[in-house]
Amino acid sequence: MQLNEQLKKLVFDKGQLKQDVYQATLQAYQSFRTTAQEITRQFQEANASAERKINFQFKDRGDFEFEIRFAGDILIFMMHTNVFEFSRDHVVMKTPYIREDSKRSYCGVIHIYNFLADSFTYQRENDLGYMIGRVFINAENHYFIEGKRELGMLYNNFNTAVISPESVQSIVESAIEYTTNFDLLTPPYDEVKLVSVAEMRTNFEKRSIVTGKRLGFRFQSDTD
């Protein structure tokens, strides 16, 4: 019995492509990690001479995940280990860059999440975090970002944008800037006016009352 040659070529070609995308994404993730460590170090140095101290920390959360903790916020960067392709309806699929070579649409992804630091400190399991951006990287090291304001609008030229130490630094700094300006708003009164007896008997920080930066409000992605 002989293997079908077309099938064999398909499996090997697709497998090699996904390996190339994975390696490009992993290298980008490692660059994000190194850059986040350096930015944290510089903040810590500046903090040493500041009159009022602000907490700045870097922490590995596993092989594909790390966090930056600053002031009252946490940014979590997480690399997905799988390779994705965009749907046919996605705007990226309509660009000349993808039409010239459909293999360019296969990407790895790094998610960027924002949480309140107190949510983890006090183990408030019901609190909400927000994805503020996700970085897509293909085998040619081209990238673009779907995300909030600074991230989504500044880094969306998949055709020409190539991941580099400079672009990674810019993305991390933009994520910190967005997070710092993304304030915790008081939820609408009607959303929090009722509380159960069980919740009042529970330690305040562990009640099932949900805390999130835009709880009860339209988030930016609803209008962008």
Tens-place pLDDT, residues 171-208: 999 999 999 987 766 666 676 666 666 666 666 555 55
Question: What is this structure's pTM?
Answer: 0.83
Q: Most confidently modeled of 5-9, 154-158, 204-208?
A: 5-9
Element spanning 116, H or E: strand 106-116
Question: Does residue 81 register a pLDDT over 90?
Answer: yes
If one compares 186 and 103, the residue with the highest pLDDT of the two is 103
Residue type (1 letter), 204? F
Distance of alpha carbon 25 from alpha carbon 136, whole angstroms? 8
Question: Does residue 84 register a pLDDT over 80?
Answer: yes
